[in-house]
Amino acid sequence: MLILWTGSFLFFNTPGAFSELFPQGGHTSSAISLERRQEARNATGALHQKLRAWGVSVEVQDLLKEYGSFGSSLLVPIPSAGASLSSRTLVLACSLADPEGKDLLTLLLYQIHQGNIRPGVSLLIAFLGEEEPLSLDQASATLFDPPPPYRGLQALLDRFEDPEAVSLIYLSFSPLSTQLTLQYGSSGALASSQLLAAVFHSLKKAGLLSTLPTPYTILYKLGLITGDPRMGLMAEAGIDGLLIELPIELPGRGGTASEFPTAEETHAPLPAQNGHSALETALGPVTTSRGLSFFKELLENPSWSYLQRDQHYSLFPTFQGTWYILPEKQTVHILLVLLFALFCFVGSYSIIYRQSLLVQWIVFIRRSWVLLLYYLVFAVLCWGSSFFISLWNFNSPYPPALLKILLATAVSLGLFSFFSGVHVPRRAEFYGHGAFFFLFVISLVAVSLDVSFFLPILWFFLWVFLASVWKHPVLNGLALIMAPLQFGRILYTTYTLQETTLAHHLLSPGLGENILLALFVFPLLLLLKRLILLSYPPKRYSLACRFPLELALPLAILAMTGILSFSPGMVSLPFLPYPGVPGAMHGLPNRSEPGLLPAGESTNREELAGVESDQARETQPARGIDGTGTIQYRSGPVSSTILQTRLTTITFFDEKTLSLSVTCTGTPTLISILLEARSPAGERLEIYSSPVPVTFMNTHTARFVLGPLPSNPLVLDITVPENLKGRFIIRALGEQTGEEKEVLF
């Protein structure tokens, strides 16, 4: 008994006695939890006391009892006498950790309480607790699985039994934002066009400027953009939701969010001053009129809440700086009008040129096997290019994806030249008709999936149609250049949003991905062959003269491929930097809040690696790239490469083992390994086995807890699902230099 009592006393009361068994646990975790609980209690208690002083009924919703937390959310239901049974309930939510958002909704509550705003829809105002995600240090300090982020929002969504009768608007102030941004989608889901149109209209009435992460709704529907994790939670719950990210100073507004009254100021009575309350005097007339007119217009004109949801819409920018929403019904009308115009054109053309057109279509039908052969060859070359490019570990998947398309196109042009002996009358018209036919098939497939998919293809369809009709080489070349611009913008949008799903699909060696890729690129390849024939007709140039001309472009692309193959690091030159590394271009401000990790990602690479020194943030070392594609953070004399990686994959049935070997030739002070991956179905990242602890930062990102001094060389063997695709991000920090490598799998 004495031995048991002594052991128990040492285990629970000796600081650091068992730290090697339970790293960063015990007292550290308790201190962090107590601090967070106390902050949540103070914010919730102050706001609760203020609302009760106004005579507002408040519902307190406790959170995370299973984790031992005492966090809570405050819910204020506001019924409306004018609301119909068929209308939806509007929920306005913000985090208690967001002082600007909390003050904004508090001001709205006060205006409703005073009768200045009369909602025509049932309203629920929610102040959510436990919304902030745990930092890396807090997540690694707990002995158990950390609670998921946005617990207050998840608890709020769980209380609704009928998701179809609820619309939710989440307000989030961020000092990193410079514009009012509307996050309207997540992977596979969109906010309804009715809610989005009502918000657009209210913002315009209030004189507030807004922007969108991307106007391409097709990217959300196909799961190529994950969106904000809070939008993902709303989509999983089946609730029509919208996230409004606001900067500290709203564009077009005459005040700042810091001018909203604090909790201490609103405890006192609110006397009138020159016709305005003390709240309005503190805000200023311009801020009051513009800040509250948005909510006033949205709440007092709830016609949008009676309409059925429409998620099959498209967005177009207008000249006034706003957005035009094209709903599903109008999209169908436009599609029918275009089909009618197309049939009228083909019919009139057939009547006028019936003799030549009949001959051309007979030739096209008889020689259609040539197009099918060309397409199969091109699809096989796309599949083979994936294996060719996968021999090197590139820093970013975007340049290899473009290189794969160029490589397959170059080899295809070279191989197609050997089929010139096949007699095809009017070969240029034959290629033009073939490009139009393939694009027509693409359009039918897109419309069968979603009617709104046709509009992004409309630009492509128009220029391919013109290229198949025009016979002048200059006009044909212009149409060939203009046709893929829309898809280039879509690819660049995913790049600026730091989304690699589309690039990984383009690089995928899967049969389905390559067949679909070949189906989209093949019309452009046929138009390129048509341009060559129009520029160098067979009657004026013999085959011996045209053969080098037709191979000029393939040889140039093959030469560029060879150069990049011997120096893979060149694909990360500054002309196309990867947004995930320091010094790279960012198309949009980061979605994160200060000190937090939305979707598990950090706004700073030093924070992501666990480095919290002020010197690392003040120096902001420059970025350099050596010959191996290694990214170095230079703040002093640069030594030779200290980080070497190697990845091997073993597949067994529906599982595969990834063996990552990391060797440092120097003496790094810290090594960090992250895994970013997702399955084709977009499911949550699963790791079946790992030799070290794993911290899941979000649904598709995991961090391996290596400890302060991992072994060198470090071998990491993990087992994951066979269809998982992604990359490892390895970082090594030394006293003066730091290096990073990304390994794709």
Binned at pLDDT 50, 70 and 90, residue 624 comes out as very low
User: Do the Cβ atoms of 669 and 734 come closer than 8 Å?
Assistant: yes
Q: What is the pLDDT of residues 353-394, one digit of tens each?
A: 766 667 777 777 877 888 888 899 899 988 888 877 776 656
3-state secondary structure of 62: strand
Contact 435/378 with Cβ under 8 angstroms? Answer: no
The four Cα atoms 706, 708, 709, 710 give a dihedral, to 10 degrees, of 0
What does 11-33 look like in DSSP terms, one character per residue? Answer: HHHSTTTTTTTSTT-THHHHHHH
More confident residue, 552 or 266: 552
What does the alpha-carbon distance between residue 184 and residue 190 come to, in Å, rounded to a whole number?
6
Contact at 8 Å (CB) between 496 and 442?
A: no
Query: Which residue ranges make up each domain of the chain?
Result: 50-326, 367-568, 610-744
Task: Check: CB of residue 387 under 8 Å from CB of residue 510.
Answer: no
Per-residue pLDDT at 682 exceeds 60: yes
Crossing angle for the helix pair 27-53 and 99-114, to the nearest 10 degrees:
20
Neighbours of 531 (CB within 10 A): 19
Per-residue pLDDT for 285 more than 50?
no
The tokens describing 271, both together, are 């006397």
pLDDT of amino acid 410: 81
Q: For the chain, give the percent of residues with pLDDT over 90.
A: 3
Higher pLDDT pick, 581 / 393 = 393
Check residue 705 and give its pLDDT. Answer: 75
Percent of the chain at pLDDT > 70 equals: 63
- Is residue 170 within 8 Å of residue 153, measured between CB atoms? yes
CA–CA gap between residue 734 and residue 638 (Å, rounded): 11
pLDDT of amino acid 92: 93
Report the candidate in 516, 275, 553, 593 with the shortest Cα–Cα distance to residue 412: 553
Average pLDDT, integer, range 327-338: 87
**φ/ψ (deg, to 5) at 377:** -65, -45
**What is the reported pLDDT for 112?**
86
- Residue 173's DSSP bridge partners are 246
- Phi, psi (rounded to 5 degrees) for 625: -130, 125
pLDDT tens, 115-167? 888 888 888 999 888 766 554 444 444 444 555 678 888 889 988 888 888 99
pLDDT tens-digit series, residues 469-517: 888 888 888 888 888 888 888 888 888 887 878 888 888 888 888 888 8
Assess contact for 534 and 431: CB atoms under 8 A: no
In angstroms, rounded to a whole number, what is the distance separating the alpha carbons of residues 742 and 745?
Answer: 10
- pLDDT tens, residue by residue, 521-578: 999 888 888 888 888 766 554 554 555 555 555 666 666 655 555 443 333 333 333 3
- Mean pLDDT rounded to a whole number for the chain: 70
Task: Burial-class residue 273 by CB neighbours within 10 Å (0-12, 13-18, 19+).
Answer: exposed
Peptide bond just before 713 cis, omega within 30 deg: yes
Average pLDDT score over residue span 93-109: 83
Q: Are 467 and 459 in contact (CB under 8 A)?
A: no
Q: Please, which residues bridge with residue 177 across strands? A: none
CATH 1.10.3470 applies to domain 610-744: no
pLDDT of residue 210: 84
CB atoms within 10 A of CB 141: 21
284: left (phi over 0), alpha (psi -120 to 50) or beta: left
* CA atoms of 640 and 30, how far apart (whole Å): 43
For residue 572, give the nearest of 555, 608, 580 by alpha carbon.
Answer: 580
Alpha helices in 417-542 (DSSP H): 427-449, 454-469, 473-482, 485-496, 501-507, 511-535
CB 498 within 8 A of CB 439: no
Q: What are the beta bridge partners of residue 127?
A: 74, 94
Query: What is the pLDDT at residue 556?
Result: 62
Reported CATH class of domain 50-326 = alpha beta
Ranges 189-193, 259-263, 463-467: which has the least confidence = 259-263
Would you tell me the crossing angle of helices 285-300 and 99-114 to the nearest 10 degrees? Answer: 70
pLDDT for position 391 = 67
pLDDT attached to residue 115? 82
**What integer is the mean pLDDT of 401-411?**
82
Q: Measure the CA angle with vertex 563, ends 558 and 567; round to 5°.
A: 140
pLDDT tens, residue by residue, 713-728: 788 888 888 888 888 8
Is the alpha carbon torsion for 565, 570, 575, 577 positive or negative?
positive
Mean per-residue pLDDT, 730-744: 72
Tokens of 256: 């700042």
Rounded CA separation 136/133 (Å): 9
Residue 559's pLDDT is what? Answer: 62
| CA–CA distance, 237 with 164 (Å, rounded to integer) | 10
Q: Hey, CA dihedral for 239, 680, 489, 326, is it positive or negative? A: negative
CB 168 within 8 A of CB 88: no
Indicate the residue type of 168.
Answer: L
HEC per residue, 250-269: CCCCCCCHHHCCCHHHHHCC
Residue 409 has pLDDT above 70, yes or no: yes
CA angle at 23 for the pair 739 and 685, rounded to the nearest 5°: 60
Task: Give pLDDT, residue 93.
Answer: 92
Q: How far is CA 377 from CA 24, 413, 541, in A?
A: 58, 11, 27
**424 close to 430: Cβ distance less than 8 angstroms:** yes
| Per-residue pLDDT tens digits for 171-199 | 888 766 777 889 999 888 899 888 998 89
C-beta pairs of 12-15 under 8 Å, 24+ apart in sequence: none
Poorest-confidence range of 239-248, 413-422, 659-668?
413-422
Q: Where are the beta strands (DSSP E) in 597-654?
A: 622-625, 631-634, 643-652
Angle at the Cα of 108 from the Cα atoms of 103 and 113, rounded to 5 degrees: 120
Q: Which pLDDT does position 493 carry in this prediction?
A: 84
Partners of residue 715 on adjacent β-strands: 661
Burial bucket for residue 196 (CB in 10 Å: 0-12, 13-18, 19+)? buried
What tens digit of pLDDT does each residue of 287-323 get?
456 667 788 888 888 777 666 788 888 888 877 767 8
Q: How confident is the model at residue 42 (pLDDT cuts 50, 70, 90)?
A: low
In order of 241, 394, 500, 501, 517, the CA distances from 401 in angstroms are 34, 11, 11, 11, 11
Query: Which residue, 274, 185, 272, 193, is CA-closest to 232?
Result: 185
Q: Which two tokens stand for residue 472?
A: 């002048």
